[in-house]
Amino acid sequence: MDKKSFFNQMAEGWDERFYAQEMRERLPQLVSLFQLQKRARILDVGAGTGGIIPYLLEAIGPEGSLWAIDYAEEMVKIGRMKFQKESRVVFELASVENLPYKDQFFDHVVCFGAFPHFEDKKEALEEMGRVLKTGGTLMIAHTLSSVALRSHHQNCGPVSTDFLPEEGEMRSLLGKAGFQVKRLIDEPKRYLCEGEKI
Ligand SMILES: C[S@@+](CC[C@H](N)C(=O)[O-])C[C@H]1O[C@@H](n2cnc3c(N)ncnc32)[C@H](O)[C@@H]1O
């Protein structure tokens, strides 16, 4: 089975499986580290069913706006349904390699639980950088350390070899894509790599 089919198949029941109480309790603290501006325009890449979106909306406030993209149709279907009454949210079917937005459109790009799955990480970073304003920030985040994430994925069929790059490689990838790495936190139950577009 290819990766996209795997995620499509996982869409139903995703929230029940991955957004248990413990995860929901950890998200406000993780999102507070993103330092999102009130009234910001943000993009959630690889948004799945939008599990982190309520926390992002809380951070950007009533005048912020949020676009969410995912390449798996079933994820987007559920995401659209969940946020149909939320005027600040637009859910779209798109790939990270080809984002349907103009250059420098967003203040922040958030990539939560998705970066290891991108086939071409260089291309993904360049494309996320293209749609970010200069000085805008990219947050690559997980609620696990890179080591814990590696074992979490190990028995997951088509994503079993999807890992976060080692720290040196991550810094080099971001640098080549036009980001300055502001923070790289990799500790139990938390991973955050923040890049500022220069
Ligand atoms: C592990 S899930 C995380 C979903 C969501 N961010 C969450 O934490 O609940 C990874 C998501 O990335 C999406 N994805 C993987 N590769 C992608 C790509 N190249 N472009 C867009 N989305 C992608 C998958 O369809 C899946 O929904």
pLDDT tens digits, 100-126: 999 999 999 999 999 999 999 999 999
154 vs 35, residue with greater confidence: 35
Average pLDDT over residues 59-79: 98
- Is the pLDDT assigned to residue 154 strictly greater than 90? no
| Domain spans, the chain | 3-197
Query: By alpha-carbon position, which residue is closest to atom 6 of ligand 1?
Result: 47
pLDDT attached to residue 85: 97
Query: By alpha-carbon position, which residue is closest to atom 14 of ligand 1?
Result: 46
Gap between the Cα atoms of 113 and 110, Å rounded: 10
pLDDT attached to residue 156: 83
pLDDT band at 28 (very low <50, low <70, confident <90, very high): very high
Q: What interhelical angle do 3-10 and 73-82 show, nearest 10?
A: 30
19 vs 78, residue with greater confidence: 78
SS3 at position 24: helix
C-alpha torsion 112→187→26→69, nearest 10: 0
- Of the chain, the percentage scoring pLDDT greater than 70 comes to 100
Best of 69, 75, 83, 140 for a ligand 1 pocket test (most atoms within 8 Å of beta carbon)? 75
SS3 at position 3: helix
Average pLDDT over residues 165-181: 98
Q: Ligand 1 centroid vs 70 CA: distance in angstroms? A: 6
- Is the pLDDT assigned to residue 21 strictly greater than 90? no
pLDDT attached to residue 20: 84
Average pLDDT over residues 24-52: 96
3-197 placed in CATH 3.40.980.10: no
Average pLDDT over residues 148-174: 93
Q: Ligand 1 centroid vs 67 CA: distance in angstroms? A: 14
Average pLDDT over residues 79-106: 98
